[in-house]
Structure 1
Amino acid sequence: MTPEPAPGGRRRRRTQGAVAATLALGLLAGCAAEADDAAPLTRVPATSTAPTPAPAPPADVPDVPVSAATLPPAEQVVPPTGLAIDALGIALPVEPVGVQPDGQMEIPPQAEVAGWYRFGAAPGDPDGTVVIAAHVDSVASAGLGPFAKLGDLAVGDAVSVTRADGAVVTYAVTGRSSVAKPEVAWGDVFLRDGGPRLVLVTCGGVWHQDRRSYSDNVIVTAEPIG
């Protein structure tokens, strides 16, 4: 099931995001934008629960006064619409994405378009991780996409993310790694607490034709400048 956030609501988006991040641990299983590339997650079998005992009779408690109150307005989320890395000479649009029914993160089929995980942090948020992913190549694109160059990034390189309101949030690269897919700690990628940061993800390593999947994930981390 693909979770849906509350309209314009930040609080519910965070609650659902924790669940959706768990579902999205199958991120970029194939990275080649084909329908049969993705492997479903292993599902945890349901466990039985003991019957709930009948509640005890209520004790005498004082009445709690009730007064009318107005909920504070929900914090608006401003999604990213574009990403540029001058050091690599690349720029591409960014679209909000969620989770597929099989538990994998949705990724735009074209390698020239990146997907922002909309159940996570947004650029400019004071905490949490902004996750943006794209295919390294794609049948729909007939070749390598811009994120194929992520492995050439160096510490200190700038990554600029443009938001829907026109604001630009700039990050500086703090790390880059290529990790075998079975060894990727996705829980560390989809962090919902801690300081603000950006994580870019694509595929890399060796292409396995039999599995129709790359061997590795290329993961770039960056922190906001200023």
Structure 2
Amino acid sequence: MVSLLLSVLLGCGTSGSASDRSTGAVSASVPASGVSARPTDAGSAAGETGAAAGAAAGQVADPVRIRVPAIGVSAPVVPLALAADGRLEAPKVFAETGWNVDGPEPGENGTAVIAGHVDSHTGPAVFFRLRELVPGDRVQVDRVDGSSAEFVVSRLERYPKDRLPSDEVYGPTGRPALRLITCGGTFDQARSSYRDNVIVFADLV
């Protein structure tokens, strides 16, 4: 398990005016202890199509699609790697989500992270309605091998980006957990970025 802190930042905007902004993902420091390196993960839970099958040893297959019926989301999941400066790039396509490949796959033991844009200069993006989720809503993550993992939402929070409680959001849970993240709150025109992060907490069924 990695013990160093990873600075995992997804851009929530680009330079320029609000009218041409490209907005939508995450800004947060992620403790690596909460996103274990995949080769050493053990005791993970693998889901079969339609339901999670329970605990299984070793890692699971990479995610390829996320489905959130309550808000009408069915979108590809693309891998997002850390850049040289320690930042996690936002998905290049506003209809796609991105998974932090330096953390566990969804369904492995640890905190998996899937992020997406809230909007763009053309309108709503993939996680525009993420703020509407409530406890009990389901999240399905399909994998490249045809299996899937099902998660249930436990809560939704909104934090200022400069005061995000990284340990609470990304810290180790002792079980497979999932965080869905986008931007929210008011828009800072000077920085061309939203001021907050909207974070959905979910656990493997």
1:132 corresponds in structure 2 to 114
CA contact (8 A) 1:97 1:106 kept: yes
2:169 is aligned with 1:186: no
Greater mean deviation of Cα atoms: 214-223 or 189-198: 189-198
Alpha-carbon distance, 1:151 to partner: 0.5
Distance 1:148 1:38, change over 3 A: closer
Q: Return the match for 1:145 from 125, 129, 149.
A: 125
CA contact (8 A) 2:184 2:197 kept: yes
C-alpha distance in 2 between matches for 1:213 and 1:159:
27
C-alpha distance in 2 between matches for 1:178 and 1:95:
24
Unmatched runs of 5 consecutive residues or more in structure 1? 1-13, 42-74
Higher-RCO chain (CA-CA 8 Å, sequence separation at least 6): 2
**Greater strand percent: which structure?**
2
Give 1:36-75 correspondences, 5 Å limit. Answer: 75=58
Higher gyration radius (CA): 1
Same amino acid, percent of matched pairs: 36
Alpha-carbon distance, 1:110 to partner: 1.7
CA contact (8 A) 2:107 2:177 kept: no
Greater mean deviation of Cα atoms: 196-205 or 92-101: 92-101
Q: What RMSD, in angstroms, separates the aligned Cα atoms of the two structures?
A: 2.5
CA contact (8 A) 1:108 1:114 kept: yes
TM-score (norm 2): 0.74
> For each residue in 1:165-207, what CA deviation from the matched residue of structure 2 results, as whole angstroms up to 9, or x when unmatched?
1111110000101111111122433335521111000001111
Unmatched runs of 5 consecutive residues or more in structure 2? 15-20, 30-57
CA contact (8 A) 2:59 2:105 kept: no
Alpha-carbon distance, 1:121 to partner: 1.3
C-alpha distance in 1 between matches for 2:167 and 2:87:
14
Distance 1:143 1:121, change over 3 A: same
TM-score (norm 1): 0.67
Q: Return the match for 1:114 from 74, 94, 97.
A: 97
Alpha-carbon distance, 1:101 to partner: 2.4
Q: How many pairs were matched up?
A: 169
Alpha-carbon distance, 1:38 to partner: 9.8
